[in-house]
């Protein structure tokens, strides 16, 4: 966790917000099987917020700590992105309104959200291996509104292609992800997972989408 000290309790969060300018750059749900620690030190259950501070440092917060930070810093709450539909509807309703009157980031383009999740899935398959795609993922996490250039998307598709070539009877990223041993036992369904904006760009580039 890239923090100078744990943000356990409101006093620690208020102190941190006095010392640093924070931005809420992502509001999502952990990928199935993923684990992460909240800024307070506790495990994140499902819903998380990602914050940026200093030149290029980020940290994660669970649902409660994230909302508390947003309230303290008077930020706008980014739209929740839950591509797997894992978060109960009752929980989703609590995400609206919090921090709505604050000064936050402008809306993150949907293609950037798709790219972030596609990279998360591919890197999970690769056991978070270092390389160009991991660097792209880190850059996107730090600067979620960056322009997604064609070579960025082509590199993602190429990475999926190289993975497919080593696995029989699997034809796209979603199938490979769902076939990981710990997910296969749980019968993870990827039917609702789509990357329409990335697929549209790949089609315009004359590429067959492997997402």
Q: What is the pLDDT of residue 184?
A: 66
Phi, psi of 60 (to 5 degrees): -105, 150
Spell out the domain ranges in the chain.
Answer: 10-93, 110-204
The pTM is what? 0.71
Measured from the Cβ of residue 18, the count of other Cβ atoms closer than 10 Å reads 9
> Is 105's pLDDT higher than 70?
no
Q: Is pLDDT of 11 > 70?
A: yes
Inter-CA distances, 28 with 83, 159, 203, Å: 9, 24, 27
**pLDDT category of residue 147 using cuts at 50, 70 and 90:** very high
Per residue in 152-181, pLDDT (tens digit) is 999 999 999 999 998 878 899 988 988 888
Judged against a pLDDT cut of 80, whether residue 149 lies above it is answered with yes
More confident residue, 93 or 198: 198
CB 201 within 8 A of CB 147: no
- pLDDT tens sequence across 46-98: 899 999 898 778 899 999 999 999 999 999 888 787 766 666 654 554 444 44
N-terminal to C-terminal alpha carbon distance within the chain: 30
pLDDT at residue 97, as a whole number: 41
pLDDT of residue 99: 38
Using pLDDT thresholds of 50, 70 and 90, give the confidence band for residue 113: confident
Q: Which residue has the higher pLDDT, 56 or 100?
A: 56
């Amino acid at each position: 966790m890239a923090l100078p000290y744990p943000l356990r309790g409101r006093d620690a969060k208020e102190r941190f917000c006095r010392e640093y300018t924070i931005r809420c750059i992502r509001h999502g749900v952990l990928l199935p099987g993923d684990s992460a620690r909240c800024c307070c030190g506790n495990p994140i259950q499902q819903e998380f917020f990602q914050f940026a501070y200093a030149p290029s440092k980020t940290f994660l917060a669970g649902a409660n700590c994230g909302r508390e930070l947003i309230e303290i810093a008077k930020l706008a709450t980014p739209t929740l992105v839950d591509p797997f539909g894992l978060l109960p509807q009752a929980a989703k309703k609590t995400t609206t309104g919090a921090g709505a009157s604050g000064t936050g980031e402008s809306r993150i383009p949907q293609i950037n959200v798709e790219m972030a999740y596609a990279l998360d899935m591919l890197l999970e398959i690769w056991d978070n291996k270092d390389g160009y795609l991991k660097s792209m993922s880190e850059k996107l996490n730090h600067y979620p509104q960056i322009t997604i250039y064609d070579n960025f998307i082509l590199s993602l598709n190429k990475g999926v292609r190289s993975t497919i070539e080593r696995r029989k009877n699997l034809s796209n990223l979603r199938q490979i992800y769902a076939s990981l041993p710990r997910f296969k036992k749980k019968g993870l369904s990827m039917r609702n997972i789509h990357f329409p904006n990335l697929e549209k760009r790949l089609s315009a580039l004359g590429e067959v989408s492997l997402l």
